[in-house]
């Protein structure tokens, strides 16, 4: 979505543009008010990682690409925040990885589902799952609207890509035996901790890199993809993501709190 309000000269122009997209998403009924709070949590962690894609995130992105390509029935879950932020990238990723798109909301409402479906269709989506109540299935042990998934989509998926997801649903999907990939700036969230592959990065930066990684790996043999996936250890990667924040803050503190290239090496 073009944005004319943020001056390109503003030192925080990128961050402000992202925020504007969410506000527009809120005004058009795509994003919920709770989604705005979630974005605030994400922004705080983005500050801590230095608002750039770390090598740690790139490693997880590569594993996620291999995992999507190995999937027999990969499904991308779309909520109001990702629909507002990266609609075109969702379609590109679905095409590159032969994945289905499913609207899956934390705060479910018919109006919001329709608003998100409109955004996805405008971006080029042909088939969208999650909307037809005839196909609603439930994730066991979740006692709210969050348990609903599409029997042809997330319920049947072997690989579930759930960016900016809520912890209960992530745990539920893992319990159902799915391989769960998430993008979450907060390495301490339950989703980040419970997923099989956690990309600790802003979804706005991670999505184009994930599409590129899928395109790069898509002709590779099964064995090579399997090795990439088997060599990825999410607990190790998450611990490293937390260490990177720790090291960066220590370097900044030593630098009297001043952001400069010396404190930005990692």
Q: Cβ contacts of residue 35 below 8 Å, gap of 6+?
A: 22, 25, 26, 79, 80, 81, 84, 107
Instruction: Based on the shown chain and the rule CB under 6 A, indicate whether residue 166 belongs to the binding site for ligand ATP.
Output: yes
Q: State which of residues 203, 225, 228, 229 lies at the interface with ligand ATP (CB under 6 A).
A: 203
Instruction: Based on the shown chain and the rule CB under 6 A, indicate whether residue 171 belongs to the binding site for ligand ATP.
Output: no
Nearest approach in angstroms of CB 78 to ligand ATP is 14
Instruction: Based on the shown chain and the rule CB under 6 A, indicate whether residue 108 belongs to the binding site for ligand ATP.
Output: no
Round to whole Å and give the CA distance between 79 and 53.
22
Instruction: Based on the shown chain and the rule CB under 6 A, indicate whether residue 183 belongs to the binding site for ligand ATP.
Output: yes
How many Cβ atoms sit within 10 Å of the Cβ of residue 11? 8
Nearest approach in angstroms of CB 56 to ligand ATP is 14
How many Cβ atoms sit within 10 Å of the Cβ of residue 79? 24
Round to whole Å and give the CA distance between 94 and 90.
6
Is 26 or 106 the residue whose CB approaches ligand ATP more closely?
106
Task: Name the β-bridge partners of 197.
Answer: 181
Instruction: Based on the shown chain and the rule CB under 6 A, indicate whether residue 185 belongs to the binding site for ligand ATP.
Output: yes
Task: Name the β-bridge partners of 137.
Answer: 149
Q: State which of residues 202, 217, 237, 263 lies at the interface with ligand ATP (CB under 6 A).
A: 202
* 33 neighbors 39 (Cβ within 8 angstroms): no
From 98, 163, 164, 165, select the one nearest 126 (Cα to Cα). Answer: 98
Q: State which of residues 167, 176, 220, 266 lies at the interface with ligand ATP (CB under 6 A).
A: 167
| Touching ligand ATP, residues 73-102 (CB under 6 A) | none
> Residues binding ligand ATP: what is the number (CB under 6 A)?
19
Is 225 or 241 the residue whose CB approaches ligand ATP more closely?
241
Round to whole Å and give the CA distance between 235 and 199.
12
Instruction: Based on the shown chain and the rule CB under 6 A, indicate whether residue 45 belongs to the binding site for ligand ATP.
Output: yes
Instruction: Based on the shown chain and the rule CB under 6 A, indicate whether residue 62 belongs to the binding site for ligand ATP.
Output: no
- Which residue, chain included where needed, has tokens 């010396």? 262
Q: State which of residues 39, 59, 92, 178 lies at the interface with ligand ATP (CB under 6 A).
A: 39
Chain residues in the site for ligand ATP (CB under 6 A): 38-39, 41-42, 45, 106, 164, 166-167, 183-186, 189-191, 202-204
């Amino acid at each position: 979505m073009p944005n004319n309000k943020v001056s390109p000269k503003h030192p925080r122009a990128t961050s402000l543009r992202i925020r504007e997209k969410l506000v527009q998403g809120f005004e058009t009924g795509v994003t919920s008010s709770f989604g705005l709070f979630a974005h605030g949590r994400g922004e705080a962690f983005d500050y801590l990682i230095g608002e750039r894609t770390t090598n740690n995130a790139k490693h997880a992105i590569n594993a996620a690409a291999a995992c999507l390509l190995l999937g027999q029935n990969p499904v991308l879950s779309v909520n109001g925040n990702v629909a507002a932020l990266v609609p075109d990238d969702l379609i590109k990723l679905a095409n590159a990885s032969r994945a289905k798109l499913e609207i899956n909301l934390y705060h479910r409402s018919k109006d919001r589902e329709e608003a998100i479906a409109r955004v996805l269709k405008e971006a080029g989506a042909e088939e969208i799952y999650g909307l037809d109540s005839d196909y609603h299935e439930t994730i066991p042990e979740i006692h709210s609207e969050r348990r609903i998934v599409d029997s042809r989509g997330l319920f049947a998926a072997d690989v579930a890509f759930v960016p900016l997801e809520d912890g209960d649903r992530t745990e539920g999907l893992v319990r159902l035996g799915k391989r769960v990939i998430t993008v979450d700036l907060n390495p301490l969230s339950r989703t980040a901790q419970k997923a099989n592959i956690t990309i600790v990065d802003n979804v706005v930066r991670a999505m184009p890199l994930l599409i590129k990684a899928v395109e790069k790996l898509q002709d590779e043999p099964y064995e090579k993809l399997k090795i990439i996936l088997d060599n990825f250890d999410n607990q190790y990667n998450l611990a490293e993501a937390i260490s990177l924040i720790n090291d960066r803050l220590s370097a900044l503190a030593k630098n009297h709190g001043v952001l400069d290239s010396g404190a930005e090496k990692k």
